[in-house]
Amino acid sequence: MITDGHGTPLAVILTGGNRNDVTQLLPLLDAVPPVRGRVGRPRRRAVTLYADRGYDHDCYRKQVRARGIVPAIARRGTEHGSDLGVYRWVVERTFAWLHGFRRLRVRWERRADIHEAFLKLACCLIAHRQLNSIC
């Protein structure tokens, strides 16, 4: 899942539960829609990719850089406290919000389109709750 800076999901790729996350990194980056907000041409790519140690491979760093994105990926074997936790917290919080919906906590649907529909409905409800708390 890729979120904007406030936890709103921008792109979601649905895969099986036994797939390694790093295999879906590049398709997820390609699935990000244009970022809107400012007047003018919309930005097509994210500026920075924040990731944990599971994504620490030089081949993925090169492919992310080739897409014009700066990778901020924690290195394996280094101490914790790389300041990536500030940004990662937003993603973990969003996952916690999604796990608040019992149907999404464990995937019971066999069809991916039905599970994705519930996932998108949950994202709409999360965005609605966030907007209500602001207004």
Strands (E), 1-135: 2-3, 9-11, 48-51, 70-73
Query: pTM for the complete prediction?
Result: 0.58
Residue 125 pLDDT: 92
Residue 103's contacts (CB-CB under 8 Å, 6 or more residues apart) are 118
Residue 133 pLDDT: 87
48-104 pLDDT per residue, tens = 887 777 788 888 899 989 988 888 887 777 776 656 666 667 767 887 888 888 888
Among residues 19, 17, 27, 28, the alpha carbon closest in space to that of 110 is found at: 17
Tell me which of 28-37, 96-105, 106-115 is least confident.
28-37
Range of the domain at 120: 2-134
Q: What angle do CA 108, 126, 113 make, to 5 degrees?
A: 35
CA dist 94 and 96 (Å) reads 5
Please determine, for residue 127, whether its predicted confidence score (pLDDT) is greater than 80. yes
- Please tell me the total count of domains within the chain: 1
